Amino acid sequence: MALKPGVVSGEDYQELVQACKKGGYALAAVNCVGTNSVNAAMEAAANNNSDIIIQFSNGGAEFFAGQGLKDSFQAKVLGAVSAAQHVHLLAEHYGICVVLHTDHANRKLVPWVDALIDHSEVYYKAHGRPLYTSHMLDLSEEDIDKNLNECVRVLKRMAPLGMSLEIELGITGGEEDGVGHEVDEHADNSHLYTQPEDVLKAYEMLSSLGHFSVAASFGNVHGVYKPGNVQLRPEILRNSQSLVTKTHNTPHNPLNLVFHGGSGSEKEKIAEALTYGVFKMNIDTDTQFAFSESVGQYVEANMKAFQYQIDPVDGTPYKKQYDPRKWLRAAEKGFVARLDEAILDLGSKGKTLAK
Ligand SMILES: [Zn+2]
């Protein structure tokens, strides 16, 4: 099973998801905010012969367009389009498969997703493939019927373009770009665990319409918190899979599951989740820190170059040190190194389907 390097969609994407589940590994889904992080994600994938998912939150997309743009909604749309065009142009040259995806969209952000599907429709007419591989809807704040009815509407739009939909059932703790929930470390936090019955309902409403995946909550939390009383319970994923299998007599692990809030998780729990059909794990907090930590170290080691163009005492020119390419490259290297680790943890090293 070999795929052409570059951005994948439609049946190629479905093959990629199947290969992950059969092989017991997952792809890192990396939140990016500009060409530095996008290129570093592709560099890490290429270094490790791994396929990769590049994704943008609404805020990440807006930042990609530039914060000087006045119309924030327009920036979220055009930033996501610009980022996708950049990846379509370059991905094949990195020699790996790239999945293009957008992260959490709550009710207020549904128009953002619809506008991006409009762009994919136009792109599809010109190129025979969509601009994005998949989008996420996160209506987990709403009741299950409202959540799933909207997912049905959006998946019906996406399926003819070969696009996939990621949905959220149950609540991922913490916050991602203003979408999410504070974690109360003293509450019982039962709302942080998805009910397998809800997953079954999603399967029944969506599986005949098109390809979809489920971000199920099993105690995962966005961001890194001090160890509290939120426990990862991956068996919730197993129970959801087996309820669908039993009810509909499907093959093993029929659902495509997504792991949000993986930063800071115990490695054994990640490994366990992978055996239950998780093909995608989001990484943001840890790569954000790696990027910034590397800049911090560079600044510390070259402090004078950030204060003087020429040394006031001995006249040494600092141009080579303050050139933004120097410290941005240091940031990219830190980002790549953190992804090397994630790719190893997720088992996707050496597994690219690109030939
Ligand atoms: Zn998330």
Q: What pLDDT tens digit does each residue of the chain (355 aa) get?
A: 799 999 999 999 999 999 999 999 999 999 999 999 999 999 999 999 999 999 999 999 999 999 999 999 999 999 999 999 999 999 999 999 999 999 999 999 999 999 999 999 999 999 999 999 999 999 999 999 999 999 999 999 999 999 999 999 987 666 666 665 555 555 556 667 889 999 999 999 999 999 999 998 888 877 766 555 557 888 999 999 999 999 999 999 999 999 988 776 788 888 899 999 999 999 999 999 999 999 999 999 999 999 999 999 999 999 999 999 999 999 999 999 999 999 999 999 999 999 9
Query: What is the whole-number distance in angstroms between the Cα of residue 216 and the centre of ligand 1?
Result: 10
CB contact set of 47 (below 8 Å; sequence gap of 6+): 336, 340
Query: What is the whole-number distance in angstroms between the Cα of residue 355 and the centre of ligand 1?
Result: 31
The CATH fold assigned to 6-291+335-346 is: TIM Barrel (3.20.20)
Query: What is the whole-number distance in angstroms between the Cα of residue 261 and the centre of ligand 1?
Result: 6
Q: Report CA torsion sign: 109, 208, 191, 24.
A: negative
Q: What pLDDT score does 261 carry?
A: 81
The pLDDT tens digits of the residues spanning 72-86 come to 999 999 999 999 999
Query: What is the whole-number distance in angstroms between the Cα of residue 174 and the centre of ligand 1?
Result: 9
For the record, the structure tokens of 226 come out as: 């001090």
Query: What is the whole-number distance in angstroms between the Cα of residue 319 and the centre of ligand 1?
Result: 40
User: What is the chain's length?
Assistant: 355
Q: What pLDDT score does 269 carry?
A: 85
Q: Where are the domains of the chain?
A: 6-291+335-346
Give 240-288 as a DSSP string: HHHHHHHHHTPPSS-S-EEE---TT--HHHHHHHHTTTEEEEEE-HHHH
Q: What pLDDT score does 230 carry?
A: 59
Query: What is the whole-number distance in angstroms between the Cα of residue 353 and the centre of ligand 1?
Result: 26
345 catalytic, yes or no? no
Query: What is the whole-number distance in angstroms between the Cα of residue 214 and the centre of ligand 1?
Result: 11
For the record, the structure tokens of 190 come out as: 């039962």
Query: What is the whole-number distance in angstroms between the Cα of residue 103 and the centre of ligand 1?
Result: 7
Query: What is the whole-number distance in angstroms between the Cα of residue 220 and the centre of ligand 1?
Result: 9
Q: What pLDDT score does 36 carry?
A: 98
Query: What is the whole-number distance in angstroms between the Cα of residue 320 and the centre of ligand 1?
Result: 39
CB hemisphere CA count around 289 (13 angstroms): 8
| Residue 131 neighbours by CB distance under 10 Å | 26
Could you tell me which residues are beta bridge partners of residue 136? 166
For the record, the structure tokens of 252 come out as: 């093993």
Q: Which of 141, 137, 121 is nearest to 129 (CA)?
A: 121
Residue among 12, 51, 71, 103 flagged as catalytic: 103
For the record, the structure tokens of 261 come out as: 């809030």
Query: What is the whole-number distance in angstroms between the Cα of residue 159 and the centre of ligand 1?
Result: 23
CB hemisphere CA count around 218 (13 angstroms): 25
Phi and psi torsions of 233, nearest 5°: -125, 75
Residues with CB under 5 A from ligand 1 (ion): 176, 260
Query: What is the whole-number distance in angstroms between the Cα of residue 167 and the centre of ligand 1?
Result: 11
